Amino acid sequence: MTPTEFQPADIPISSFGPAGIEPCSEAFTAAIRVGDDGVSRGVPHVNNAEYVRWIDQIAELATDAAGFTRAWMLASDRMWFVARHEIDYRGEVFSGDELQVATWLDTWTRTTVRRHTAIVRPADQRLVCFAATRWAYVNLTSRRPARIPTEMQDAFPKRPAASGVNPTVEPGA
């Protein structure tokens, strides 16, 4: 079985444009070489649960890169929990595909943030997945939402909610 390789990568944001997506200029990017470990049995394409894993993985890498590792958050008795995923699957992905992923934040509240994730296959310039995830910052002791520290908010680039991204565009449009 060939494992999927997921690595942070310095991918030019302009490379997402042909797929119809305009990430924040400071978006965090990664490259994925798809293995067969996430391929469905019966239908030889990547299982939808694998996309969710990628969305979570790039969010963790982006947060780590900003200096807020899981160890830092655990020491602070805090953690990000997914409150809501909205995922548009726009194209099949197969073992051997090479993908580019970008993630960025656009809407903050006192205790939550919305993170966008775009997954593009450069070989055909296809946006294969677009997700908007609402993350809640949670106190691990009380299991209640916690105020996001100013230092954390300041560490991430801001993008207005009207981001030029249209996640409702139909596949192939």
CA distance 47 to 65: 28
Q: Which helix (H) or strand (E) holds 153?
A: helix 150-155
For the stretch 71-120, pLDDT in tens is 999 999 999 999 999 999 999 999 999 999 999 998 899 999 999 999 99
Amino acid symbol at 88: D
Give residue 126's pLDDT. Answer: 92
pLDDT on residue 168: 41
**Which fold is adopted by the domain 5-155?**
Thiol Ester Dehydrase; Chain A (3.10.129)
Q: In the 8-state DSSP scheme, what is residue 67?
A: T
pLDDT at position 13: 72
3-state secondary structure 73-135: HHHCCEEEEEEEEEEEECCCCCCCCEEEEEEEEEEECCCEEEEEEEEEECCCCEEEEEEEEEE
Residue 84 one-letter amino acid? R
- Give the model confidence (pLDDT) of 134-168 as tens digits: 999 999 999 999 999 999 999 987 665 444 444 44
Residue 17: the pLDDT is 66
